[in-house]
Amino acid sequence: MTVAMILATAYLLGSVPASYIVAFIWTGGRDIHHIGDGNPGVMNVWDNIGLTPALVAAAGDIGKGTAAVGLAYWASGDNHTLAIFAGLAAILGHDYSVFLRFRGGNGTATTVGAWLAMVPMVTLAALVLTFVLFVGTRRKRFSGFVGLSSMPFLAFATQQPNELTLGVLLMLAALAAKIISFEGLTPARSRINR
């Protein structure tokens, strides 16, 4: 399998619109673009449809990222660089889905899925941190922000290969860029406190 084929497959995997499909099924045919903030992502499903469908959508989005990175490792052995680019391709596919006319979500769950395949123990530690913070504060976006932001520090602290730590940073940067482009940083638009 060529590099181009792996990256194209990763992009197509990322493009599968899990939240759109879940919302369509759960609401009896409504388009998620007309629900809540219109973002076809897990948080919009959670906010406006419910926790159970959000968990189903999250599983789909996480699975896309994990599958894309897993495919790269399977096809190339231990090639971290290809795995990182496959993860980025899946995130790009989620953010700009060919099935949704190049619209998409923020890529958070897909990023987490890619990290799970690249640095599983680090990702699980960040998820535990996120969960503990959410239980303590009931602020899902704040908890997620802290958990996501902890990833490069945890990767460095656990002495992951430099290549993988850089990959985590690149994916976090791509995620931050998409979130900022969608939500902005002004208090009126930012929903970190929710």
Residue owning tokens 């990767």:
155
Contact call for residues 133 and 49 (beta carbons, < 8 A):
no
DSSP state of 185: S
Give yes or no for a contact between 42 and 57, defined as CB atoms under 8 angstroms apart: yes
Cβ–Cβ under 8 Å, residues 40 and 32: yes
Predicted confidence at residue 104, as pLDDT, reads 85
What integer pLDDT is reported at residue 190 of this predicted model? 40
Query: Is the pLDDT score of 192 beyond 90?
Result: no
The string over 82-120, giving b where at least 16 C-beta atoms fall within 10 Å of a residue's C-beta and e elsewhere, is: bbbbbbbbbbbbbbbbeebeeebbbbbbbbbbbbbbbbe
Predicted confidence (pLDDT) per residue in 118-141, tens digit = 999 999 999 999 999 999 998 888
pLDDT tens digit sequence for 71-108: 999 998 889 999 999 999 999 999 999 998 888 888 89
Identify the pLDDT of residue 78.
86
pLDDT category of residue 183 using cuts at 50, 70 and 90: low
